[in-house]
Structure 1
């Protein structure tokens, strides 16, 4: 259900992104960086695609606990159940979010949302693909109390959708609203890497939790917010964005000699290292004045990546609306093709020659597959005209790829 609602809400998201973009241009401040926006949106779409296969954890475990261990049988049609459920969900989200900044295991997933050095509405859609692996644990109290599964799914979606609008620099402080609710000003401080703002403002809808537990800070004009992470990603690769912290922590866990530290490192705060590794590498001091990651790329190459991204975005919507009607194997193959597409687009924006070769393979194999099949991933019938149109698009893309990436290298 969540995938379908988000898919149908996407036009509203993009309308608001367009409005924010025009406001930023008119004000001549906080303008969009197209490659960063594509990267953030790619990560958001990938999180929805992988979420299809992780529903067994994010919803399945909740449903099992609700069915077998719920203390009460709460009604679905009570407004008080919905209101109290949303309040309790937001409280539990605060602790999941806080632990996501205070433990390596959860930070490895959550870091994706913070990697962008820009801050706009596309950042809101920049989500992890692995958050469901462990995040479900925090919401089990709702199941134990007896909040129905459909209520849980709906309030989780409400909490998520609320947080879209707060990812903007075009809205200033809002007076009393900032003192009660999570607002753009409050959340900007949360995304900051300045020492002053680190590990603050974890609330989803209510900022009251932060005030209650001592993690609130107000955005200060004297200290402009700098966005990103203390270990900048400096890549448009969406796969590496999801794996970078897992890889770094796993590497330290492998090299440390103490068996206790091999486990402990996953539960410690980001930046913590075992004593035997603490001085093994020279750690560079973080520079707030660092240059932003923005590899130079000709306009023609940006337009090529943008066109391929838009097409992949439309096909991702098709996947999210139809995956339940096809076999698990076909859905997995379709999902892999989409994720590989976003991965290659990211590589083309850096740009790296390897990804030009991979893009040739993707386009060629896609066209070749249609020559031996009358359906899209053996699940969606295609007319001869459709097959010809897709093949022609692949051919034109190959010629364009050669023209702007090979001939001008």
Structure 2
């Protein structure tokens, strides 16, 4: 996990930098595809994902090394060939995992966060799950295991394959000619993120679009059908932690409420969105009927509050990067505590962004707890060894968090204002 944390130490600023480039480009061409609160929510979601993954918080049902040991029938000798085969195998597995996530109720919960933004931009690419707590992905790599693809090759290519899916989350690139027949392009992925009936559950490929064409899930972007983004059951929150478990909570509620015992069991494995008839009637859930005429989630916010949300995002990102930088020195128990602070912090300020009255208590408690930890340890996880008086600056951040929570809950008049990036 330490090597993964090191990779994230460099990858995180790189991806955030590209998001900033897209924002600046949108401003330059007067075609902005970002708004502050949505982008803060998206980037915050990315932070929760990388912290969770860096800590290895997943229950592995079956590992790739186990499959390789027991299923390998061949051993590919050629160096270049093994990398090609491995990449194709990863992409094939990615297609079916993606398809599973779209078509089965239980698995949709781990993917809904990625579709929850009602915008489409590079930031929403970073809306990645923390609810994927069961490690079953290796089962989809059985073809690679049978062919004897080494574990090391999979381990190296997997993050590359994931990172290569970032660039096509944009509206600033049109169709790309002959490449539309080879790879997943921005045009194809706009279709995938759209909630138009013509586009739902289409274009599930990750790098190569050949799988969609082979298995009947390909759909070209149509000029007469402009993509509308989000999910049909809108999240209506900026809090990525809540979004990660919204669908699961609905499934649990429906399974509990239905009187049909068969429905209690099968709801988890039915097509995404399926609900028992009795609870569907008695407990209706808001669904977007007209995708061209619905109100996007946008609680009233002032320019000052948007600036404060950006401040919280920046500080949380900096703290997380220090966690990755000092990963080996902090120790696992310390990393769990550090990770918990980051999670609670993101939960707190995104709940404040939702204008929830109870957010102030989260902010005050996490601020006081942070100050208490600094007081008791005379440091912030070893920060003073790298940055003189670093823990004092973190203490100032926690003080700002306390007063910010109080101010934006009780004193600020929330006025609608032009978006900072539009």
Is TM > 0.5 for Structure 1 vs Structure 2? yes
Q: What TM-score do you get using the length of structure 2 for normalisation? A: 0.89
2:314 is aligned, of 310, 314, 338, to: 310
Q: Which residue of 2 aligns with 1:37?
A: 39
Aligned to 1:79: 80
Q: Which residue of 2 aligns with 1:392?
A: 396
Shift of 1:369: 1.7
Conserved? CA contact 1:100–1:107, under 8 Å: yes
Q: 1:274 to 1:399 in 2, by over 3 A?
A: closer
Query: Matched residues in 1 for 2:400 and 2:112: separation?
Result: 37
Structure 1 contact 201–210 (Cα < 8 Å) conserved: yes
Corresponding residue number in structure 1 for 2:332: 328
Q: Sort the Cα spacing of 1:396 and 1:321 in 2 relative to 1 into closer, same or farther, 3 A.
A: closer
Give, in angstroms, the shift of residue 9 of structure 1: 2.1
Structure 1 residues 58, 164: closer, same or farther in 2, change over 3 A?
farther
Report how far residue 23 of structure 1 moved: 1.8
The match for 1:301 is: 305
1:406 maps to which of 384, 407, 410: 410
Work out the CA distance in 2 between the residues paired with 1:208 and 1:228.
25
Q: Give the structure 2 partner of residue 103 of structure 1.
A: 104
Give the 3 Å change call, closer, same or farther, for CA 36–56 of structure 1 in structure 2.
closer
Further displaced range: 240-249 or 55-64: 55-64
Asked whether the 8 Å contact 1:96–1:135 carries over to 2, the reply is: no
- Distance (Å, rounded) in 1 between the aligned partners of 2:109 and 2:166: 22
**What pairs with 1:22-61 in structure 2 (closer than 5 Å)?**
22-54=24-56, 57=59, 61=63
| Equivalent residue, structure 2, for 1:344 | 348
**Correspondence for 2:145:** 143
1:50 and 1:247 map into 2 onto residues whose CA distance is 20
> How does 1:189-208 map onto structure 2 within 5 Å?
189-208=191-210
1:4-403 to 2 correspondences below 5 Å: 4-54=6-56, 57=59, 61-74=63-76, 78-131=79-132, 133-136=134-137, 137-282=139-284, 284=286, 286=288, 287-288=290-291, 289-377=293-381, 385-403=389-407
Structure 1 pair 53–144 and aligned structure 2 pair: CA distance change class (3 A): farther
Could you report, residue by residue, the CA deviation over 1:262-298 in whole angstroms, capped at 9, with x for unpaired residues? 2211111112123443433345552311011111111
Q: What SS class does the counterpart of residue 353 from structure 1 fall into?
A: coil
Cα deviations by residue, 1:121-177 (Å, 9 ceiling, x for unpaired):
001111011235244232344234322222112221122111100000000111111
1:193 shift after superposition: 0.3
1:316 offset after TM fit, Å? 1.2
Structure 2: stretches of 5+ with no match in the other structure: 414-422
Structure 1 residue runs without a partner (length 5+): none
Counterparts of 1:277 and 1:103 in 2: how far apart (Å)? 19
Please give the secondary structure, in 1, of the residue aligned with 2:297.
coil
Which shows bigger deviation, 202-211 or 55-64? 55-64
1:347-389 CA deviation, whole Å, 9 max, x = no partner? Answer: 1112122112221221122112211113324x66658833333
TM-score normalised by the chain length of structure 1: 0.92
CA distance in 2, matches of 1:13, 1:258: 47
Equivalences, count: 407
Aligned residues of 2:49 and 2:129 also touching (Cα < 8 A) = yes
Measure, in 1, the Cα distance between the counterparts of 2:367 and 2:311: 14
Give the direction of change, closer, same or farther, for the CA distance of 1:10–1:328 in structure 2 (3 Å limit): closer
